[in-house]
Amino acid sequence: MAVWGIVSGLTAAVHNYTGLVLVRFFLGFVEAPYFPGALFLLSSWYTREELALRTSILYAGSLLSGGFGGLVGAGVQAGLNGARGIVSWRTRWLSPEERAIATKRLQYTSGSQDTERGSLFSGVKMAVMDYKVVL
């Protein structure tokens, strides 16, 4: 867990996209054995009768952290915006022009401009015929 904390903390020192990808790779590398390791430790400390409850608590905690993590992050981002002269969200590797292009592309592909209507059968047929869906 200490190595995970160190690698996670190194995310703050990232200044470009390549650095972010590298830090996230190493974070995943040290994070991958966490859940199997936690289950192993639980199985070595508790009896079979106690293990089911402890495992379900571990799974529930994982689901709750995923559910509320975004809300906590949004609260932190809103509360710390401008603190110590640093904005809460910086995309340092994108210029203002690139940000405008990215925003426009996301708006275009969001589906809000999709006005084509079709039957349910035609939609299913399109999905079955698309090799990317089948794969």
pLDDT for 18 equals: 92
Report pLDDT digits (tens) over 59-102: 999 999 988 988 887 777 776 666 656 566 654 556 778 778 87
Residue 133 within a domain: no
DSSP string, 53-94: HHHHHHHHHHHHHHHHHHHHHHHHHHHSTTGGG--S---TTS
pLDDT for 112 equals: 53
Residue 42 within a domain: yes
How far is Cα 82 from Cα 50, in angstroms, rounded to an integer? Answer: 48
Residue 33 within a domain: yes
pLDDT, averaged across the chain: 81
User: What range does the domain containing 17 cover?
Assistant: 2-73+89-109
Residue 98 within a domain: yes
Q: For residue 116, what is the DSSP state?
A: -
Mean pLDDT computed over 12-40 = 91
pLDDT for 64 equals: 93
User: How many domains does the chain fold into?
Assistant: 1
Residue 134 within a domain: no
Beta-carbon contacts of 26 under 8 Å, excluding residues fewer than 6 positions away, are: 7
